[in-house]
Amino acid sequence: MDPVLSDWLSLLVRWVHVIAGIMWIGTTYLFNWMERTLTPPTGQGKENISGELWMVHGGGFYLVEKQKWPEIMPKVLHWFRWEAMTTWLSGMALLALVYWNGAPLLEYGSELSRAQGVAVSLGVLVLGLAVYHLLWRSPLAQVEPLGAAVSLVLVTALAWGLGRYLSDRAVYLHIGAMFGTIMVTNVWMIILPNQARMIAITKAGGTPDQRLAALAGRCSKHNTYMSVPLIFTMISNHYPATTFGTEYGWAVLAGVTLLGWGAAKLIRDVL
């Protein structure tokens, strides 16, 4: 590809990626903030309202009410899903443009061909997604701190193992891409389908199943925790001397991931 065309294409896709990511992650944190800021409803006849919140923005005043279970279906229901898909698709396009077709993907002197390197790249995303769902559908899901500890060990081991085949810069990028892939599948395969099932049960006059809401809520929580270290991996390429370029880049990544989870908890529960 012509270098000038490649640069422009990469720049425009990256622009879309950043804007879509701001919209997606911003919405995620807004809803998490609302979740812990809701106050008990006032007045009669609000047994199904678990909380309400007054907000002001742009000269307008907004009243938000959270229903325990959908009672009346509106004509228009906003799902907040295309921000996630646009972020992921543009990210995959960047992965192909910058790594599969451009910058060094493999570790210097690697015996793998570029095609094999691309296969490893895709395998990280697919296997990472599979392991995540297996882990959080196992008994470990009932003990969240233990599940988080196991997740950190697995992420660290993956970073160390990838360093044997991919370039140091590519290792960080692929850990972030794996987080992003898990996050978008959480939205499209669990959170939104569960919400759709809740609506269908309501329309059919069925009994509310709070397990659907609980599972969707857990996936949303995981997304907020993954988003902070994900963003770090995306910007780390500007600081190779202190991140992936060090002898123990995999350990730095583990520490930053743990720090990111702490920051996410602070944002979710305090700020």
**104 φ/ψ angles, rounded to the nearest 5 degrees:** -55, 125
Residue 253: pLDDT above 90? yes
Burial label, 90 (beta-carbon count in 10 A; 0-12, 13-18, 19+): buried
| Selected residue with higher pLDDT from 1 and 118 | 118
Q: What is the tens place of the pLDDT at every residue in 74-130?
A: 777 788 889 999 999 999 999 998 899 877 888 777 788 889 999 999 999 999 999
Would you tell me how many other CB atoms lie within 10 Å of the CB of residue 158? 20
Q: What is the tens place of the pLDDT at every residue in 172-224?
A: 999 999 999 999 999 999 999 998 888 888 888 887 788 888 899 899 999 99
Q: Residue 54 in 3-state DSSP?
A: strand
Q: What is the per-residue pLDDT for 224?
A: 93
Domain ranges, ordered by start, for the chain: 3-37+69-269
Mean per-residue pLDDT, 23-49? 86
Q: What is the per-residue pLDDT for 154?
A: 97
pTM: 0.91
Q: What is the per-residue pLDDT for 203?
A: 80
Mean per-residue pLDDT, 238-244? 92
Structure tokens at 135: 């882990």
Q: What is the per-residue pLDDT for 235?
A: 92
Structure tokens at 153: 């060990």
